[in-house]
């Protein structure tokens, strides 16, 4: 023990000597190590969420091996926070409660996923505008169809003063025709023409009423179909669910976890997941941008993560590699048994 203490004291003296010869070199080294470890903790622990800088620092210094701030170029945590904002490493803002920081993830995979989410949001907004315009058009068409034609009144003239006039109040075209045939000899040719015209007008009005009803029904059906389609394509920017299998896509954790599969055990604030590695059993806390869904083999159970069928369990029927989509059969809830086509890969994941 005495030999060890002697060796350690000599090593400590050599380090102090080297530091005294070039103090700036050691300060730069410690500053870089402090910055890298602080940002890594911020990214891994809090992702891109806005958090108080003191919370991150207290968790950082709880590890003995971490370099403390008094060995770096920054005198206070506020100075370091402002430096992070000037360098574009974090978004920083000052409040009455202190400084808050938000990590800026510049990983190319994360940026690609964010751009994909923005594109889908824009597409959903365009679909909503199209649906609103279509409904407005159908309502306007229905109002136009309700406008009634004004009746045209004509004077009733009798060509023959001796001719008798008879009125048939019975309903139905067949009754009218029978009555007209019986009284044709009494009413004469003009009266017969009047009866036949009345029958034709009644038939034409009946057929036009049926056609209008069909048009209204078809328009209503189209609106209902569009509403169902809108619900089916309703999307959110978060998709994590417990007990699904996911794949880690970030490279920042090293080859030990890259492209490995894990089970989501807990979802925090919609965007963060606590996952358990399938091979090693390690538990990690990751943002959803560092994970992707896992598509099982046909016949296996899946969970719908996004869209109108979110939360429903299902059975994977088949996959379409060209369109990156799948066909599933809903296996839970009131929609059980419904077959859904065109579900995107990222909207479903294998159940654990």
Condensed to tens digits (0 to 9), the pLDDT of residues 76-133 reads: 999 999 999 988 889 999 999 999 999 988 777 766 777 777 778 777 777 778 888 8
pLDDT band at 179 (very low <50, low <70, confident <90, very high): very low
CA-based nearest residue to 241, from 120, 329, 349, 114 = 349
How many CB atoms within 10 Å of residue 168?
15
- The sign of the CA dihedral 219, 221, 223, 229 is negative
Within a domain: 290: yes
Residue 202, pLDDT > 70, answer no
Give pLDDT, residue 264. Answer: 95
Structure tokens at 151: 């009746």
Within a domain: 278: yes
Give pLDDT, residue 70. Answer: 76
The mean pLDDT value for 161-182 works out to 55
The mean pLDDT value for 255-263 works out to 91
Within a domain: 159: no
Contact status, residue 300 vs residue 350, Cβ threshold 8 Å: yes
Contact status, residue 93 vs residue 100, Cβ threshold 8 Å: yes
Where a domain ends, among 103, 126, 154?
Answer: 103
Within a domain: 308: yes
- Does one domain contain both 272 and 311? no
- Does one domain contain both 276 and 340? no
pLDDT band at 182 (very low <50, low <70, confident <90, very high): very low
Which residue range forms the structural domain that includes residue 264? 242-294
- Does one domain contain both 258 and 318? no
265-288 pLDDT per residue, tens:
999 988 999 999 999 899 999 999
Residue 48, pLDDT > 60, answer yes
Contact status, residue 258 vs residue 279, Cβ threshold 8 Å: no
- Does one domain contain both 11 and 43? yes
Query: For the chain, what is the domain count?
Result: 3
What is the CATH classification number for the domain harbouring 93?
1.10.10.2030
Residue 244, pLDDT > 60, answer yes
Within a domain: 210: no
This prediction has a pTM of: 0.39
Structure tokens at 257: 């976890």
CA-based nearest residue to 170, from 162, 161, 179 = 179
Within a domain: 111: no
Where a domain ends, among 47, 71, 103?
Answer: 103
Where a domain ends, among 60, 77, 103?
Answer: 103
The mean pLDDT value for 152-162 works out to 67
- Does one domain contain both 6 and 32? yes
Within a domain: 110: no
- The sign of the CA dihedral 260, 261, 265, 270 is positive
- Does one domain contain both 263 and 302? no
What is the CATH classification number for the domain harbouring 265?
2.30.30.140
- Does one domain contain both 252 and 310? no
- Does one domain contain both 326 and 340? yes
Helix axes 2-21, 23-46, angle to 10 degrees: 100
Sheet containing 90-95: which strands, arranged edge to edge? Answer: 50-52, 98-103, 90-95
Share of the chain above pLDDT 70, in %: 66
The mean pLDDT value for 301-314 works out to 89
Give pLDDT, residue 94. Answer: 92
- Does one domain contain both 321 and 345? yes
Within a domain: 53: yes
Give pLDDT, residue 211. Answer: 53
Structure tokens at 72: 């770096």
What is the per-residue burial (b if ≥16 Cβ within 10 Å, else e) of 39-54? Answer: bebbbbbbbbeebebe
What is the CATH classification number for the domain harbouring 331?
2.30.30.30
Contact status, residue 48 vs residue 111, Cβ threshold 8 Å: no
Three-state DSSP state, 274: strand
């Amino acid at each position: 023990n005495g030999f060890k203490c002697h060796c350690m004291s000599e090593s400590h003296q050599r380090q102090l000597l080297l530091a005294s010869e070039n103090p700036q070199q050691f300060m730069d080294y410690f500053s870089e190590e402090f910055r890298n470890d602080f940002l890594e903790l911020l990214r891994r622990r809090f992702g891109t969420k806005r958090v108080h800088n003191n919370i991150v620092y207290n968790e950082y210094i709880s590890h003995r091996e971490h370099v403390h701030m008094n060995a770096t170029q920054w005198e206070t945590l506020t100075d370091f926070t402002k430096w992070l904002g000037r360098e574009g490493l974090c978004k920083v803002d000052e409040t009455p409660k202190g400084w808050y920081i938000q990590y800026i993830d510049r990983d190319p995979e994360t940026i690609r996923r964010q751009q994909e989410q923005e594109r889908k949001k824009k597409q959903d907004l365009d679909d909503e505008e199209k649906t609103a315009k279509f409904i407005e058009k159908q309502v306007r068409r229905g109002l136009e169809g309700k406008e009634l034609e004004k009746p045209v009144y004509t004077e009733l003239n009798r060509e023959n003063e001796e001719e008798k006039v008879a009125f048939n109040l019975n309903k139905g075209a067949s009754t009218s025709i029978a009555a007209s045939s019986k009284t044709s000899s009494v009413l004469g040719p003009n009266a017969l023409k009047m009866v036949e015209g009345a029958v034709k007008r009644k038939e034409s009005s009946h057929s036009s009423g049926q056609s209008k009803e069909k048009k209204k029904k078809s328009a209503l059906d189209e609106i209902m179909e569009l509403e169902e389609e809108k619900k089916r394509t309703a999307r959110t920017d978060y998709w994590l669910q417990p007990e699904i299998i996911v794949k880690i896509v970030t490279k920042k954790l090293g080859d030990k976890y890259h492209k490995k599969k894990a089970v989501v055990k807990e979802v925090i604030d919609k965007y963060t997941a606590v996952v358990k590695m399938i091979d090693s059993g390690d538990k990690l806390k990751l943002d959803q941008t560092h994970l992707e869904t896992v598509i099982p083999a046909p016949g296996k159970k899946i969970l719908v993560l996004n869209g109108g069928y979110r939360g429903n369990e299902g059975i994977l029927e088949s996959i379409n590699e060209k369109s990156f989509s799948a066909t599933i059969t809903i296996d839970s809830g009131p929609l059980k048994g419904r077959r859904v086509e065109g579900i995107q890969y990222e909207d479903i994941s294998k159940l654990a």
